[in-house]
C-alpha cells in the first residue's frame, strides 16, 4: 500500500508527470480546463498527496512552520512560559492554513535542546521556524543565520554579526510608563530590584526604567539601579528605613522575595511600600501584582505572520518588531506613605 506518486496519477490521467506537477502546484497557465479536471479526478481517485520531503528538496514550500523551543514545550505547569505563545501560534497558523512541526527530536541528555545535533539540522524540513526559549543558544542562532535559514525569534536576541529578526515585547516603553504612572501617584523615591541574569529582555527593562527616572528627575539609590543584583538583608534594612516609597522589580520571583523580606521587618505591601513588577501575564495565581502584561498570545500570532512574510518573500530584509505591553493594576501599589 505505497503512497501514489505524481507518475501514478499521470498514468491514470493519461498525461505526463510534469503535467500533474503543474496542476497540483498551480502552474496552470497553459493547461486547459478539461485536462486539469482529468488530472484532478485522478488525484482524487488515487488519493495522491505531495511528498513533503521531495518538494522540500526541490526547494518548494510545504506550508509547514516549525516551532523550536530550547526547553520542553509542554512543561508540567499550566502557567507555563510557552503555553500562551503556542496558543497564538496555533491559532494563527490554523487561520492561514499552515501546519506546525514541533521540533522535539533535538533533545539531548542534559535536558537542553539543540538545533544542530549529531550533525543534523532537522529544521529545514519546515519552510521556516519560530524559535523561543529563555535559554536560547547564541551560537546556534548565529549558525542558523549564516546558513541562510528562515526563522524568527520570540524575544530579543542579539548576536554580533547577525541580524536576527525578533518579536520583542516593548519593555522599554512599558517600564517607562510604569514608572511614570507611579510618579503620577506621587512617588519620588524609587528602588530597582535587578535580576542576576543578564539577558536582552532585562536590558530593555533597565533602559526604560532609567529613561523614566531621569526624565522625571526621580531618586534611586538602590544597588539594582547601579547595576548590582543584590537583594541582601542589609539592603532590605536600608530600604525599610530609607526614603523609598516605591520598588520596581524585574520579575515576579524578585517581588515575592521582597515581600517576604519586608514582612519579616513588619512592613506590608502596599501599605508601607508600593511594588510594581516588570513581568506578568495578567492572570497569575497568587497575589495580584501591579505589573505589565506581556501579550503572549498576540506575540505568537505576530511571530507567525512575520515568519510567513519571510517565507513568502525571502529576499526582503528581515526586521524585528516591537509589541506594546499594557500595564495592569493589581493590589500592590498605593499612594506613597509619608515616613516620619
Partner DNA sequence: CCAGAGTGCTCATACGTATGAACGTGCAGC
Partner DNA sequence: GCTGCACGTTCATACGTATGAGCACTCTGG
Binding region for DNA (CB under 7 A) = 2-3, 5-7, 14-19, 21-22, 24-25, 27, 30-32, 35, 48, 50-51, 54-55, 57-60
Pattern 111-150, binding to a copy of itself, x per CB under 8 A? -----x--xxxx-xx-----------------x--xxx--
228 and 194 in contact (C-beta within 8 Å)? yes
Record the cell numbers describing residue 98, joined without a space. Answer: 499552515
Pattern 38-57, binding to a copy of itself, x per CB under 8 A? --x--xx--xxxxxxxxxxx
The DSSP element (H or E) to which 248 belongs, if any, is strand 246-249
44 interacts with, out of DNA, a copy of itself, none, CB within 5 to 8 A per kind: a copy of itself
Smallest separation (angstroms) from DNA to the CB of 147: 11
37 interacts with, out of DNA, a copy of itself, none, CB within 5 to 8 A per kind: none
Dihedral-angle region of residue 280 (phi above 0 means left; psi in -120 to 50 means alpha; beta otherwise): left
Pick between residue 124 and residue 199 the one whose CB is nearest to a copy of itself: 124
Pick between residue 73 and residue 101 the one whose CB is nearest to DNA: 101
Strands 116-117 and 120-121: antiparallel
Record the cell numbers describing residue 198, joined without a space. Answer: 543578564
- DSSP annotation string for 288-332: --EEEE--HHHHHHHHHHHHHHHHH-TTSPP--EEE--EEE--SS
Output Rg (C-alpha) for the chain, integer angstroms.
26
Pick between residue 112 and residue 185 the one whose CB is nearest to a copy of itself: 112
The DSSP element (H or E) to which 131 belongs, if any, is strand 128-132
| Of the residues 13, 19, 39, 101, which one makes contact with a copy of itself according to CB under 8 A | 101
Smallest separation (angstroms) from DNA to the CB of 107: 20
Beta-bridged to residue 275, according to DSSP, are 247
7 interacts with, out of DNA, a copy of itself, none, CB within 5 to 8 A per kind: DNA
**Residue 199 lies near a copy of itself (rule: CB under 8 A):** no
Pick between residue 33 and residue 241 the one whose CB is nearest to DNA: 33
Pick between residue 98 and residue 190 the one whose CB is nearest to a copy of itself: 98
3-state DSSP call for residue 40?
helix
Question: Nearest 5°: phi and psi at 25?
Answer: -105, 15
| Of the residues 32, 97, 266, 286, which one makes contact with a copy of itself according to CB under 8 A | 97
Amino acid at each position: 500500500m505505497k503512497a501514489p506518486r505524481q507518475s501514478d496519477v499521470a498514468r491514470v490521467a493519461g498525461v505526463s508527470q510534469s503535467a500533474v506537477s503543474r496542476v497540483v502546484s498551480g502552474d496552470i497557465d497553459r493547461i486547459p480546463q478539461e485536462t486539469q479536471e482529468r488530472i484532478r479526478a485522478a488525484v482524487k481517485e488515487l488519493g495522491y498527496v505531495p511528498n513533503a520531503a521531495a518538494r522540500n528538496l526541490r526547494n518548494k514550500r510545504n506550508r509547514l512552520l516549525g516551532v523550536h523551543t530550547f526547553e520542553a514545550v509542554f512543561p508540567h505547569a499550566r502557567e507555563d512560559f510557552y503555553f500562551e505563545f503556542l496558543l497564538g501560534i496555533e491559532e494563527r497558523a490554523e487561520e492561514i492554513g499552515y501546519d506546525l512541526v514541533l521540533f522535539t527530536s533535538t533533545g539531548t541528555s542534559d535536558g537542553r535542546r539543540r538545533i544542530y545535533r549529531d550533525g543534523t539540522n532537522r529544521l529545514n524540513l519546515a519552510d521556516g521556524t519560530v524559535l523561543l526559549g529563555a535559554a536560547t543558544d547564541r551560537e546556534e542562532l548565529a549558525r542558523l543565520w549564516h546558513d541562510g535559514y528562515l526563522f524568527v525569534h520570540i524575544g530579543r536576541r542579539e548576536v554580533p554579526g547577525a541580524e536576527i529578526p525578533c518579536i520583542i515585547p516593548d519593555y522599554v516603553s512599558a517600564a517607562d510608563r510604569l514608572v511614570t504612572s507611579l510618579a503620577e501617584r506621587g512617588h519620588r523615591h524609587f528602588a530597582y530590584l535587578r535580576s542576576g541574569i543578564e539577558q536582552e529582555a532585562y536590558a530593555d527593562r533597565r533602559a526604560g526604567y532609567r529613561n523614566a527616572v531621569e526624565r522625571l528627575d526621580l531618586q534611586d539609590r538602590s544597588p539594582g539601579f547601579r547595576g548590582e543584583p543584590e537583594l541582601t538583608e542589609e539592603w532590605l534594612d536600608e530600604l525599610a528605613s530609607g526614603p523609598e516609597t516605591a520598588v520596581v522589580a524585574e520579575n515576579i520571583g524578585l517581588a515575592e522575595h521582597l515581600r517576604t523580606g519586608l514582612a519579616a521587618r513588619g512592613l506590608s505591601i502596599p501599605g508601607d511600600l508600593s511594588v510594581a513588577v516588570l513581568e506578568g501575564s495578567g492572570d497569575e495565581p497568587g497575589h495580584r501584582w501591579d505589573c505589565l502584561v506581556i501579550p503572549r498570545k498576540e506575540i505568537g500570532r505576530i511571530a507567525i505572520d512575520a515568519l510567513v512574510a519571510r517565507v513568502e518573500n525571502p529576499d526582503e530584509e528581515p526586521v524585528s518588531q516591537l509589541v506594546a505591553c499594557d500595564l495592569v493594576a493589581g493590589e500592590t501599589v498605593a499612594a506613597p506613605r509619608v515616613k516620619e
